Amino acid sequence: MNGVKHTLTSHLPGQKRRDVVENDEFAAFARRIIRAHGRRVATGDVEALRDLVALSSAIDEAITEAVVGLRAFGYSWAEIGQRLGISRQAAQQRWGGQS
């Protein structure tokens, strides 16, 4: 193999198994980039402040896309809420109207 760590997620009946490729490392990399951007702004790059704030909207959009995709894949509101530390009702209220 090419040195990439592959794991298989559990799957739902009738669904294909999905490969998960280094999600933890990918998320850590994204966090490092965002923090570095914040440090750059903090050193006087006021012009980049708007871009940093725009990342918040991009992250919200990415979360919505992820939740909509997980629902389409067959995950319940309870499973999604559990992963986020919120109730199924809260998850459904937040993302249930998205398509």
**What pLDDT, in 10s, does the model give residues 77-92?**
999 999 999 999 999 9
pLDDT tens for 7-59 read 445 555 556 556 667 888 999 999 999 999 999 999 999 999 999 999 999 99
54 domain residue, yes or no: yes
Residue 2 has pLDDT above 80, yes or no: no
Task: Tell me the residue range of the domain where 86 lies.
Answer: 6-95
Per-residue pLDDT, 23: 87
- Alpha helix positions (H), the chain: 23-42, 49-73, 77-84, 88-95
pLDDT the model gives residue 3: 46
Domain count, the chain: 1
Mean pLDDT for 57-79 is: 95
Q: Does residue 28 fall inside a structural domain?
A: yes
40 domain-assigned: yes
Structural domain includes residue 1 = no
